[in-house]
Structure 1
Amino acid sequence: MFTSITRASTSLLARCLVTAAVIAPCTAHSEAPVSAPLPKLLPWHGASEQLIVNKGDWVTPAEASAFRTTPNYRETRAFIDRLAAASPDIRTMDIGTSSGGRKVQLVTLTAGGSDPKTNGKPTLLAQAGIHSGEIDGKDASLMLLRDYVTGNRKLRQLVERANLLIVPILNVDGHERTGPYNRMNQRGPENAGWRSNGNNLNINRDYTKLDTPELRAVMDVINSYKPDLYLDIHVTDGEDYQYDITYGYTAAFASDSPDIAHWLDNSLRGRLDKALTDAGHIPGPLVFGVNPQEFSDGITHWTALPRFSNGLGDLRHTPTVLIENHSLKPFRQRVLGTYVFLEAALQALGEDRQSLEKAIASDQKRRPETQVLAWDTNKKPDLTVFAKQPFKGMAYKKAMNPITGTEQVVWLGKAKDYPELPVFADNVKAVEVRVPRAYYLPKKDALVLARLKAHGIQVSEPQRKSAKLTQLTVDGHEFAESPFEGHFRVSGTFSEKPVQVSLNDFVKISTDQPLGSLAVALLDPRGPDSLFQWGFFNQIFQRTEYAEPYALIPLAEKMLQQDPALKKEFEKRLQDKAFADDPRARMDFFYQRSPYYDQAYLKYPVLTEY
């Protein structure tokens, strides 16, 4: 946004902001708003176009509009109700309520309408609309469910072997904040929804802290149904390239679920890529350019933090795939590719169930001695990833731009391969910690306890009355300058010392459990997605009792008389002129060493047992 705005346009802009909830198109100019020009498209036709139904009683709302629009919340639920009424195999339930009062719906498709929790078949959970402007998964799901209802033989065979669970719209409030100007870099639908939820929180950053009712509802589903494969369906931002369906997951080199990562690499990916290619799509890896001004500099092999679905799924030992359809491809093409992806994933579950279940069970039994909580990017690129098959990119040029006064990338709409495109992997250990046997959380930290239980982490009463544990003290800390996702995040450095404590007021969180790795990520404060760094323990940074000079000064004199070592330490500090000239600092020196000082100040309340 330009920093120079006229008084008249500022007034109009203020009216735009006030009426934002109405979602009427509005700009800071009186003339009609313009759409952002996008790069030229490559022509596309594929076998998946045969999936489209143009006539009859079961045309989906997106098909009825020729994929110009997507149905709203009410229309979506009405179509799903019709599907459920037409087949006993389809069932619906509300799993939660948004802050705006809308219900989040779960659709289950099982053979004979059996309970996916108990029918003994592997389960696929597909989630759409965590970013509601990226709604491809919803419309692909409606088409797939329609085809099942109308007798598609292949789908019926697949559902005989695997269950399908669908969250059609996760961010239901953002879904209703529609408009043609919500997604500048995306080709459709015309009525795309909004990224954040009704409280302006990005649900896609909430997988560890679980602030949003929408994601707590998803976590209930994951804990209850224990899906064997979890698909989180998005649409990209960023560069132009030929791939229309890109996807990824935590790589084995950085995985807390290495056997699952190998199954995703060696079993699932081949099936997905073949199905998509046969249907006329171009599947590819997740693409994050390292330099927006020079794409040929390479891309990053991203290792997701647990605030994201694929990062959390890796810690939970829940096979999780992040789908990112390319935003510059038309909505129609993206929806069709998503349909193919869903069908292929369902087929993979049915065909290779045993090896996946074996991988999940193996990873759940892992009890590592150390755990990496954060990864850095390797500065040395890997040139082998695209050595045999070049990266399928697009041509671009650099041109001086009068808006920025600098050279900018201009995508040319022409295919261009990039052999040996550099890939910079997030495979350098940034934060690695020793895994303890258990953590002990004070019962008074009820919000933290509630979050742990919402994740499904097992919590128990201590079997001992007291124990010698390790406590961390914050030696230095820094708060963020602005809020992020409703929190002022904080980072710190720590020292540790043994403490003997009574355990009457604590609960125990053992790491000897399937979600032990997740417990470490949440409770070790050195991790970037720990509840500490999200601000759940900020109370330790405030002091509520203080000392009056008329009481503290006589106490300090008495302390000097009784403790020669303290006297010597004080005299040494007085050699520092800044300290010597500061009466408050001199008094604090004694207060901090007195028995009256707040012993909980800067003490991380979660204790550790090694």
Structure 2
Amino acid sequence: MKTPYELGNQNQTTTWEACIQFYETLAQRYPTILRFSQIGISDAGVPIHAGVVSADGMFDREQIRQAGRPVFFNNNGIHPGEPEGIDACMALVRDLCLEPEHLAALGSTVYLFIPVYNVDGSCNRGNASRVNQDGPEAFGFRGNSLHLDLNRDFIKCDSLNAQLFNRFFTAWDPDVMVDTHTSNGADYSYTMTLIHTQADKLGGGLGAFLRERMLPVIYQGMEARGWPTCPYVNPVHVSPDQGIVDFLEVPRFSTGYAALSHTIGFMPETHMLKPFKDRYESTRALLDVTLAFTVANAPEIQALRRQARQTAGRTHWPVRWKVDETRCSKLRFKGYAPVYSASLLGDYQRLAYDRSQPWEREIDYFTHFAEETVVRAPVAYVIPQAWRAVVERLDWNGVKMERLGAARTVQAQVRRIQSVQSRPGAYEGHMFHDEVRLETGLQAVGLQAGDWWVPLDQDKARYAVETLEPQAHDSFFRWGFFNSILERKQHFSDYVFEDMASQLLKEEPELRARFDAWTAANPHLLSDQQQVLGFIFENCARYAEPEWCRYPVLSIFEHP
């Protein structure tokens, strides 16, 4: 039983319809090996499917979890213009069904897969959206029906796909995930490059295991299969000869999202300029090698994941990381000479790579990341019940929460937003806040019956911390879930407030001191009535709006 890719000229990828029909036929023929079914729908109403391969016919996720079976998860087609994973997964599942020795090698591990994740984009088929890519002849589009990049949607969950994925991933809790992609960027000799969950960010024994044990075996295995592989080529400056740095996969991306559940994630990025046939075969090799390692080392991976989930005694949480420029290692790299020449289109120097000048040498490789922002670990968070969208997303990800049955007063850390720098223009449908500065303090706060108590002595603590701490890379605050607190709801009429402002400066010594400091620092603004009155209005105590710029989520540091 051949896949559409195998029946073609090795420069064609399957359509969504042919892919689903292939799996449905395979599942009908081999019902004791493969279970394939619809798990939801997309925003355009297109069915989304998933499959489970099991050597002994155990398919139910609850039975699999109770039995402690390892789960290897393969996600494909999040960017349908990068389709080699869709076709490689089809052949892998087919081989598991048809070849007894292949199936037996799976052991107790379950092979879980989504054949096409961005089904809307897959059905939006053409051949012109991947400007620099060598094949296939036709393929899907990167955006979904809402024009969203689904590999930026795992935290904000604007799409039905992401909402489904959050619940699906949480229910199955995979040990290892491979999410297949194609790369844009520099030119070099490798067909396959690899993004992995950043080991320092993954942390503890699990991060060390990934860096010291798993990655070397994967690279060796790919070399043995005839597909030398290197880390994702993310140049420090312009071209890889100047060094490369690991990609920091924050939780908006699939591998960063997986890390919130202590799942080891890989994002294979085949090189866009290599023929589709080579990209397909190297992706199949990467799936085989990574799956084999997972099967052989599953007990240790599972034990390290359990260890990573232990939060007892934890006093601090890192929520932001940065490249550790003091720790530079070396990487043997095979590249092409970068060449600069005058552009024929404009007055600038353009970069090209000369394949007639290959080179191989050691380059700088920055693979370590340091903790940039660390927060004190609270006992729990409290989310006021009004913020339903936030509570919803915590629930989809299995975060344990309880509703308060009665009003109470607690000592809580209250944070105010001092300043925010936002990305200019829309980013994936949101006004994304690049930087945020906070002012914090402890005070007695009244909680209402129905507010949500989120304890951190639980398996899903990391997801809660990295979404509820405002400074975290992909916190709900940075994605704009709390934007309404950044706006004052009342203002003033200048012709009336002018006299009141003078009186406020007399009545409030602290305001007077702030105003004097402000005028000394901003003499050029004293001719602007709105600036002058606005400063007094926003800083006076009498007309303060307590909710303005107050972050709604509270941190509790003592058990009530």
| TM-score between both structures, scaled by the size of structure 1 | 0.82
Is 1:284 paired with 2:234? no
Equivalence for 1:40: none
Query: Match for residue 122 of structure 1?
Result: 70
1:263 counterpart (186, 209, 222): 209
Q: Which amino acid aligns with 1:413?
A: R
Q: 1:2-21 deviations in whole A, cap 9, x for unaligned?
A: xxxxxxxxxxxxxxxxxxxx
* Structure-2 residue corresponding to 1:608: 555
Q: Aligned pair in 2 of structure 1 residues 551, 586: CA closer, same or farther (>3 Å)?
A: closer
Distance 1:415 1:161 in 2: 48
> Counterpart of 1:246?
193
Q: 1:184 to 1:583 in 2, by over 3 A?
A: closer
Inter-CA distance 153–276: structure 2 relative to 1 (3 Å threshold): farther
Q: Are the equivalent residues in 1 in contact too, given 2:236–2:245 (CA < 8 A)? A: yes
Distance 2:230 2:240 in 1: 16
- Equivalence for 2:315: 369
Report the counterpart of residue 103 of structure 2 in structure 1.
156
SS at match of 1:352: helix
Q: d(CA) in 1 for partners of 2:519 and 2:216?
A: 70
> 1:298, CA displacement in angstroms?
1.1
Conservation of the 8 A alpha-carbon contact between 1:247 and 1:285:
yes
Aligned-pair CA distance for 1:403 = 2.8
Aligned to 1:60: 3
| Match status 1:78 vs 2:78 | no
Aligned to 1:444: 386
Shift of 1:381: 6.8
* Deviating more after overlay: 390-399 vs 442-451: 390-399
* Higher strand proportion: 2
**Aligned 8 A contact 1:158 1:346 in 2:** no
> Conserved in 1, the CA contact under 8 Å of 2:76 and 2:179?
yes
The equivalent residue for 2:427 is 484
**CA deviation vs aligned residue, 1:406-426 (integer Å, no higher than 9, x gap):** 443333335734322012346
1:503 aligns with 2:450: no
Q: 1:527 and 1:174 mapped to 2: Cα distance?
A: 30
How far residue 594 of structure 1 moved from its aligned partner, in angstroms, is 4.8
1:465-506 C-alpha deviation (Å, 9 max, x unpaired): 220111111222233320000001123322112221222252
After the TM superposition, which residues 310-349 of structure 1 pair with which residues of structure 2 at under 5 Å, given as runs? 310-349=255-294
Asked whether the 8 Å contact 2:414–2:550 carries over to 1, the reply is: yes
Closer/same/farther in 2, CA of residues 126 and 589 from structure 1, 3 Å limit: same
Q: Which amino acid aligns with 1:492?
A: V
Inter-partner Cα distance in structure 1 for 2:541 and 2:172: 54
Structure exhibiting the larger radius of gyration computed from Cα positions: 1
1:295 aligns with 2:257: no
SS of 2:465's equivalent? helix
TM-superposed CA distance for 1:543, in Å, is 2.3
In 2: Cα distance, 1:278 partner to 1:203 partner:
34
Q: Could you tell which deviates more after superposition, 277-286 or 256-265?
A: 256-265
In the alignment, the residues of structure 1 paired with residue 538 and residue 102 of structure 2 have an alpha-carbon distance, to the nearest angstrom, of 73
Deviation digits for residues 286-316 of structure 1 (CA, Å, limit 9, x no counterpart): 1112233x43111112222121122222232
User: Does the C-alpha gap of structure 1 residues 520 and 571 become closer, same or farther in structure 2, counting only changes over 3 Å?
Assistant: closer
Deviations 1:3-57 (A, max 9, x none): xxxxxxxxxxxxxxxxxxxxxxxxxxxxxxxxxxxxxxxxxxxxxxxxxxxxxxx
In structure 2, how many angstroms separate the alpha carbons of the residues matched to 1:579 and 1:219?
49
Distance 1:546 1:157 in 2: 71
Whether contact under 8 Å (1:372, 1:429) holds in the other structure is yes
Residues 241 and 335 of structure 2 are in contact (CA less than 8 Å); yes or no, is this contact kept in structure 1?
Answer: no
Shift of 1:235: 0.9
Q: CA deviation at 1:242?
A: 2.2
Task: Calculate the TM-score normalised by the size of structure 2.
Answer: 0.89
Inter-partner Cα distance in structure 1 for 2:365 and 2:448: 52
Residue of structure 1 in register with 2:152 after alignment: 205
CA distance in 2, matches of 1:60, 1:273: 28
Q: Aligned with 1:145: secondary structure?
A: helix
Residues 80-99 of structure 1 correspond to what in structure 2 (within 5 A)?
80-88=23-31, 89-99=33-43
- What are structure 1's unaligned runs of at least 5 residues? 1-57
Query: What code does the residue aligned with 2:218 have?
Result: L
Instruction: Mark the CA change 1:567 to 1:597 in structure 2 (over 3 Å): closer, same or farther.
Output: closer
Aligned partner of 2:14: which letter? P
Counterpart check, 1:467 vs 2:410: yes
2:413 alignment partner, SS class: strand
Is 462-471 or 133-142 further displaced after alignment? 462-471
Q: SS of 1:75's equivalent?
A: helix
Work out the CA distance in 2 between the residues paired with 1:251 and 1:321: 10
Residue 140 of structure 1 is matched in structure 2 by 88
Q: Is 1:412–2:360 an aligned residue pair? A: no
CA contact (8 A) 2:501 2:533 kept: no
Structure 2 letter corresponding to 1:171: N
Work out whether residues 35 and 59 of structure 2, in 8 Å CA contact, stay in contact via their aligned partners in 1: no
Which stretch of the first structure deviates more once superposed, 433-442 or 274-283?
274-283
1:426-441 equivalences under 5 Å are 427-441=369-383
The amino acid that maps onto 2:57 is: G
Is the alpha carbon distance of 1:286 and 1:591 closer, same or farther for their aligned partners in structure 2, counting shifts above 3 Å? closer
Tell me which amino acid in the other structure corresponds to 2:58: S
- Per the alignment, residue 107 of structure 1 pairs with 51
CA deviation profile, 1:370-402 (whole Å, cap 9, x unmatched): 3332233344572x432xxx2122344333332
Cα–Cα, structure 1 residues 590 and 145, in superposed 2: closer, same or farther, change >3 Å?
Answer: closer
Match of 1:391 among 324, 329, 333: 333
Report the Cα offset of residue 192 of structure 1.
1.9
How many residue pairs were aligned?
545
User: Contact conserved, 2:409 with 2:446, CA < 8 A, in 1?
Assistant: yes
Q: Which of 162, 172, 179 is matched with 1:225 structurally?
A: 172
Deviation at 1:437, TM superposition (A): 2.1
Q: Give the Cα separation in 2 of the matches to 1:166 and 1:385.
A: 35
